Amino acid sequence: MKDGLAYYFRIVYIVTLFLAMTLIVLAFASDTQYLEFNQSNLHRVELEGTIQAGEKGREMPLSEEAYQQIKAAEYVIVKGHFTEDIEVNEQIFVYLRRIRIKFYQNNELIYEYGQSRDTLPFSKTAGNIWGSFYLKGISKNDAIRIEFENPYPQNSSKVYQRCIEQLYTGDKMQLFMHMAAKNVLSLVAAAIILLMGVEMLCISVSLRLVQVRGMIQIFYCGLLFLVSSIWLMIDYTYISLIMPYGIGWEILDTFVFIGIPLLAIRYARSFMITRMQKLLRGLEAILLLMNFIYIVLQTLGIVDGEMMQEAFREALPYILSIVFVCLLVEMRKNKKFVPRLVLSSGNVLIIFALIGCIQYKISEVDGVSFFGIGFTLFVVVQYVILIYMAKRNYERAIKARQMKQELVESKMAIMLSQIQPHFLYNSISSIQELCLSEPKKAHDALAQFAHFLRGNMDSLSSKDLIPFEQELKHVKNYLALEEIRFEERLNVEYKIEKDGFFLPPLTLQPIVENAVRYGISKKREGGTITICTKETEKEIIITVLDDGVGFDVNKLGKQQDNRSHIGMENVKNRLNTQCNGRMEIESRIGEGTKVCMFLPK
């Protein structure tokens, strides 16, 4: 499974990188000038004339100054003529954003859009869309009259200026290519972010399937990338030319516009540990409530997507400022490198988003370019961090499974090392001899033998730490059986200054067994084993001391009988993995051995 999923990660990463590079190459290789005006069937037509606010408004020549004076008038009239003739059956395209239009030729209505029959009951306009109609031919002398209705008070004169300055004749697909070429970098960025989002969602699902936990950040970031790429792709100047569903795009645009901050906050919260995450949770609830209110008001026909987006734009700087402060506070208190890097990149994104909001407030032009720069930096940082985290968590999960398997194997090895045939034979033989000479003592020894076997089995089945008293009782059962065999040659002393703590099962018993089998039993006159516990400021120390024959510590584990010290090695490994403890061994040949186990509090 390890090799298979690692191979899968590499393949997904390589494919994403290849597609991203391909899109970038195509973007820079595209001949934008050719797509703009070297198409024989695509031509921008110009209108000369006057503009006025309402029937009684002052007529002003079409100019930048005139547009600024018109502002957000509810009713605007443009009068004039085209600067060139337009042939019969020529298709003319006009870009409509947040407005209704009526187009007259010599006082004859030839086109209208955005009226009640073009809209749904819950929308004030037919959305942002390219309108088109065929002409019977227009000469430079024909009188052109365009009437605009503005249902949105928050509109500006930009909606009229865009319409008048973006009149085209020609082929729809060529117009689409022309408009897409103007936004090619934004399109490529959105496509790459979309690929990264899909990749992260696939990785998060894959990690979940193999039970790698703690990677919810990848899932949230994948959703954030996916929603953000959709928002970047919804550009009405080209998308409505191939999918003319103005209301549908408007509703989707509104949802993702509000959803991006919501997902960004949820993603940031997954890295936070302070009380700031509670404040952001409340902000999440407010954003969810805004989406719910939008659904209700849109359904009732009170507001539509355009009005909701404008309202949200007014609140967005305040929301971003609150999030910015929360992330700053979190960064000061959270000392971990990865969360600090993620949150700092989030604040960089917020700064660029605030600049975009200011730009829109001043010029009524979407600050997508500023947001795009900040979001690109944000995406790169998140992608690198989360791919690294996914790889690290996956390797940790694999290592944990290997350690779990090794733990099972270690327990079996411990069981074999504890219940070896010669120990069973010696214990049973000693009990057999006592049956004839001292039946009462044999009865007690047999009970201790049963308790020892039961203690071994209980320890092998335990996955958690156990009380020290339970481990000490198991050691005493073992030593009681050995005392029957060695009699006066084996002495045991207990200096228990600290109890009431927990340790891994079968931690003390293998150390004591090694002291008996390879220390005391090898010495003709026998010796003494001392078991001590004491407490320091930071840790608990368990010491097993014997005055046996000792051994060369440098040759530990290199003897012909490797099983002789397998219990000691297993204790050392389990102390480290289960409670972050450690073990130290001191031994001198002819003097004895001292084993100390250190357990952090």
Looking at residues 295-313, what average pLDDT do you find? 76
Residue with tokens 């306009």: 125
Q: Nearest 5°: phi and psi at 71?
A: 55, -130
Is pLDDT of 24 > 80?
Answer: no
Q: Which two tokens stand for residue 188?
A: 């490529």
**What percent of the residues of the chain are helix, what percent strand, and what percent coil, each to the nearest 5?**
60, 15, 20
Cβ(263)–Cβ(323) under 8 Å?
no
Task: Give 504's Cβ-side CA count (13 Å radius).
Answer: 26
Tens digits of per-residue pLDDT, 501-529?
A: 999 888 898 899 889 888 898 888 899 99
Report the C-alpha gap between 519 and 334 in whole angstroms.
Answer: 51
Nearest-5° Cα angle at 333, 329 to 334: 110
Distances in Å between the alpha carbon of 504 and those of 570, 572, 581, 595? 11, 11, 10, 16
Q: Give residue 322's pLDDT.
A: 92
Looking at residues 455-478, what average pLDDT do you find? 78
Q: Which two tokens stand for residue 10?
A: 């590499």
Q: Give residue 98's pLDDT.
A: 78
Tell me which range, 258-262, 314-318, 445-449, 583-587, is most confidently predicted by mean pLDDT: 583-587
- List the beta bridge partners of residue 47: 82
Higher per-residue confidence, 467 vs 453 = 467
| DSSP three-state, residue 600 | strand
Is pLDDT of 312 > 70?
Answer: yes
Q: Which two tokens stand for residue 585?
A: 């061994």
Residue 518 DSSP label = I
Task: Give 154's Cβ-side CA count (13 Å radius).
Answer: 14
Tens digits of per-residue pLDDT, 277-298?
A: 889 999 999 888 888 887 787 7
Q: Give residue 405's pLDDT.
A: 67
Please, which pLDDT band fits residue 365 given cuts at 50, 70 and 90? low
Residue with tokens 């928002």: 231
Higher per-residue confidence, 586 vs 121 = 586
Higher per-residue confidence, 535 vs 189 = 535
| DSSP three-state, residue 305 | helix
Q: Nearest 5°: phi and psi at 420?
A: -85, 155
Average pLDDT score, the chain? 80
Q: Which two tokens stand for residue 160?
A: 């009229």
Q: Burial code of 294-318, b = ≥16 C-beta within 10 A, e = fewer?
A: beeebeeeebbbbbbbeebeeebee
Cβ(209)–Cβ(8) under 8 Å?
no
Show the beta-strand stretches assigned E in 347-434: none
Report the C-alpha gap between 183 and 128 in whole angstroms.
Answer: 17
Say if strands 129-134 and 91-96 run parallel, antiparallel, or are unpaired. antiparallel
Is pLDDT of 367 > 50?
Answer: no
Please, which pLDDT band fits residue 530 given cuts at 50, 70 and 90? very high
Q: Give residue 411's pLDDT.
A: 60
Q: Give the pTM.
A: 0.61
Tell me which range, 11-15, 183-187, 325-329, 482-486, is most confidently predicted by mean pLDDT: 325-329
Report the C-alpha gap between 316 and 320 in whole angstroms.
Answer: 6
Residue with tokens 């090895």: 413
Lowest mean pLDDT among 26-35, 100-109, 531-540: 26-35
Higher per-residue confidence, 303 vs 368 = 303
Q: Which two tokens stand for residue 424?
A: 């069973």
Residue with tokens 């080209």: 238
Looking at residues 222-226, what average pLDDT do you find? 92
Closest CA to 51 of 38, 31, 65: 65
Q: Which two tokens stand for residue 166?
A: 């973006």
Report the C-alpha gap between 533 and 478 in whole angstroms.
Answer: 19
Report the C-alpha gap between 266 and 72 in whole angstroms.
Answer: 37
Closest CA to 234 of 222, 225, 243: 243
Q: Give residue 160's pLDDT.
A: 85
Q: Which two tokens stand for residue 460?
A: 């092998």
Lowest mean pLDDT among 85-89, 152-156, 320-324: 152-156
Say if strands 490-496 and 527-535 run parallel, antiparallel, or are unpaired. parallel
Please, which pLDDT band fits residue 37 given cuts at 50, 70 and 90? very low
Q: Nearest 5°: phi and psi at 42?
A: -125, 125
Higher per-residue confidence, 248 vs 527 = 527
Lowest mean pLDDT among 147-151, 206-210, 381-385, 547-551: 206-210
Q: Give residue 16's pLDDT.
A: 60
Higher per-residue confidence, 318 vs 12 = 318
Residue 212 DSSP label = -
Cβ(260)–Cβ(231) under 8 Å?
yes
Q: Give residue 31's pLDDT.
A: 44
**% of the chain at pLDDT higher than 90:** 19
Lowest mean pLDDT among 72-76, 205-209, 423-427: 423-427
Is pLDDT of 458 > 70?
Answer: no
Residues 6+ apart with CB under 8 A from 504: 465, 466, 571, 574, 575, 578, 579
Residue with tokens 């993702």: 256
Phi-psi category of residue 580: left, alpha or beta, with phi > 0 → left and psi -120 to 50 → alpha: left
Report the C-alpha gap between 291 and 260 in whole angstroms.
Answer: 12
Residues 6+ apart with CB under 8 A from 524: none
Q: Nearest 5°: phi and psi at 591?
A: -115, -35
- List the beta bridge partners of residue 102: 112, 147
Report the C-alpha gap between 596 and 467 in whole angstroms.
Answer: 18
Report the C-alpha gap between 43 and 187 in whole angstroms.
Answer: 24
Report the C-alpha dihedral over residues 411, 417, 422, 427, rounded to 10 degrees.
-60
Q: Nearest 5°: phi and psi at 81?
A: -155, 155
Is pLDDT of 538 > 60?
Answer: yes
